[in-house]
Amino acid sequence: MARRFFIGGNWKCNGTLKSIEDLLSTLNGADLAKPLPEVVVAPTYVHLAWVKSKLREDFAVAAQNSWIKGSGAYTGEISPEILKDLGIPWVILGHSERRTLCSESSQVVADKTKYALDKGLAVILCVGETLEQREAGKTFDTVAEQLKPVAGALSSWTAVVVAYEPVWAIGTGKVATPEQAQEVHAYIRSWLTDNVSPEVSDTTRLIYGGSVTAKNSAELGSAKDIDGFLVGGASLKPDFVEIIKSAPQA
């Protein structure tokens, strides 16, 4: 069965009521051909419920992070149970900014992923290497190290989308070439075959993130093992509609 193209928009720590209202107007008014790719946007926590209430029904909403445990005495955290209660179906986990700025280890990301899935959320799982790791020839080793504890924790991957985001291409204007991105996506798919199962490898969507724009999305999306994008800065602009329109038709 063909993997449905997936386009996520990570708004990160951005947005005012006015700018988000303008963006929602653009998204809700976009004339998009059917069948649509799966489109998911991730606003900040304080805007989450409001965006969900205003966003068109054929798009979904994701949280940008969730806590490793359930609700309780965890000041400043949001549990998967709270997200489920709000009707939020998706959460982004393991983003490089969480790994580097908040010191989340690959094991912590794996534990978060398992807990979120156990509580009924779908997960956009981020992996990727720094420039130093790429230049040292450690891209594959880094991605494998990030995936290994997840594979050890999960019994099912049906609600997981893996986002390959080379750290050196996030917010820098640099972008992996389609050949570079495809090479790592092919490696991830082979890793899943060898370490999880051929079925999981065949069915899990692998998406690319790292300075995706309306100018490069069509070329990136044509690669064999690229099943979509996790878009950062461009997801805050009208260009996001053009990225959605560039998705290959099933």
In this structure, what token pair is assigned to residue 55?
């966003």
Q: Could you tell me the residue range of the domain that residue 136 belongs to?
A: 6-22+36-245
Q: Residue 27 domain-assigned?
A: no
Among left, alpha and beta (phi > 0; psi -120 to 50; other), residue 187 is: alpha
Q: Residue 30 domain-assigned?
A: no
In this predicted structure, what is the pLDDT of residue 1? 56
Q: Residue 235 domain-assigned?
A: yes
Among left, alpha and beta (phi > 0; psi -120 to 50; other), residue 15 is: left
Active-site amino acid positions: 95, 165
Q: Residue 195 domain-assigned?
A: yes
Against a cut of 0.85, is the pTM above it? yes
In this predicted structure, what is the pLDDT of residue 100? 92
Q: Cβ-count burial of 77 within 10 angstroms (0-12 exposed, 13-18 middle, 19+ buried)?
A: middle
Q: Which helix (H) or strand (E) element contains residue 62?
A: strand 60-63
Distance CA 79, CA 16 (A): 24
Q: Residue 84 domain-assigned?
A: yes
pLDDT tens for the 250 residues of the chain, in order: 589 999 999 999 999 999 999 999 999 999 998 999 999 999 999 999 999 999 999 999 999 999 999 999 999 999 999 999 999 999 999 999 999 999 999 999 999 999 999 999 999 999 999 989 998 999 999 999 999 999 999 999 999 999 999 988 877 777 788 999 999 999 999 999 999 999 999 999 999 998 899 999 999 999 999 999 999 999 999 999 999 999 997 5
* CATH (domain of 175): 3.20.20.70
In this predicted structure, what is the pLDDT of residue 172? 75
Domain count, the chain: 1
In this predicted structure, what is the pLDDT of residue 179? 93
Distance CA 127, CA 59 (A): 24
